[in-house]
Each structure stands twice: as structure tokens, then as C-alpha cells.
Structure 1
């Protein structure tokens, strides 16, 4: 395995990781921002008020994007396993 191939594999793994994290974290951040603006406007400083909506949004995002994320992980793993003979030799 050449260094270029190793770097390419590492780049693909990092991209897939960033994609998965982004799909899950961005909606949570947006809901957290909306809740924080609501809390600032109403001066309600309750910690659980921001936790529950973010938890629900992450669960809904997993239900909605979970099959696609799983498919992406399976495709990447299958590609790695199929390329083992080429990487070794």
C-alpha cells in the first residue's frame, strides 16, 4: 500500500465521519439556537427546556436519515473489504 492510497482511504473515512456527524448535529444546533433565542426573549433559564427539543430533533433526524447513513457506512465498508487484495498486493 502506497502512502497516497492510505491518505485517500483516510480522507474518505474522515469525509464519511464528518457527513454523519453533520447530519446529526446541524439540526440539533439549529433547534438549540431557536430555543436559546426563545429563552433570551422570555428570560426563562431552564436547562431542560433546551435539552428535550434537541433530543427529539436528533431522534427524528435518526429516524429520517438513519437508513441513508447506514447505507453509506455499508457501502464504504464493502468497498474497503473488496479492495483488500489490491491494497495488499
Structure 2
């Protein structure tokens, strides 16, 4: 295994991690922003009002995109094992 191969593998793994995390974080961030604006406009300062919608949206996103995320992880894992077989041989 050359350093170039290792750098490519690390780069691909970081890209995959970034995509999967952004899929989970961005919807919760947007809902949190909307709830914060609502709280600022109505002057309601309840902690559960900011936490519960973000939790529900995150669970909904996991339910909707879970199969896709697992597929991406499985494809990456298979490609790593295929490359490992080539690197050893």
C-alpha cells in the first residue's frame, strides 16, 4: 500500500462521513432555527419546545434515508475489502 492509496482511502472515507452526517444534521438545524425564530417572536422560552421537534425530525430523516445510508456504507465497505485484496496480492 502506497501513501497515495492511503490518502485516497482516507479522503473517500471522510467524504462519505461528511455526506452522511450532513444528511442527519441539516434538517435538525433548519427545524431548530425555525423553532428559535418562533420562540423569539412569541417570547416562549421552553427547552422542550426546542429539543422535541429536532429529535422528531432527526428520527424522521433516519427513517426515510436509513436504507440509503446503510447502502452507502455497505458499498464503501465492499470497495475497501476489494482494494485490500488487491493491495495484499
Matched residue, 2:48: 48
- Displacement of 1:88: 2.7
Cα distance in 1 between the residues matched to 2:6 and 2:20: 21
Give the TM-score normalised by the residue count of structure 2: 0.97
- Displacement of 1:78: 0.5
Number of residue-to-residue matches in the alignment: 89
Matched residue, 1:14: 14
CA distances 1:14-38 after superposition (whole Å, capped 9, x unpaired):
0000011000000000000000000
**Structure 1 vs Structure 2 CA RMSD:** 0.7
Cα distance in 1 between the residues matched to 2:11 and 2:77: 14
Q: Which runs of 4+ in 1 moved over 3 A?
A: none
Matched residue, 2:37: 37
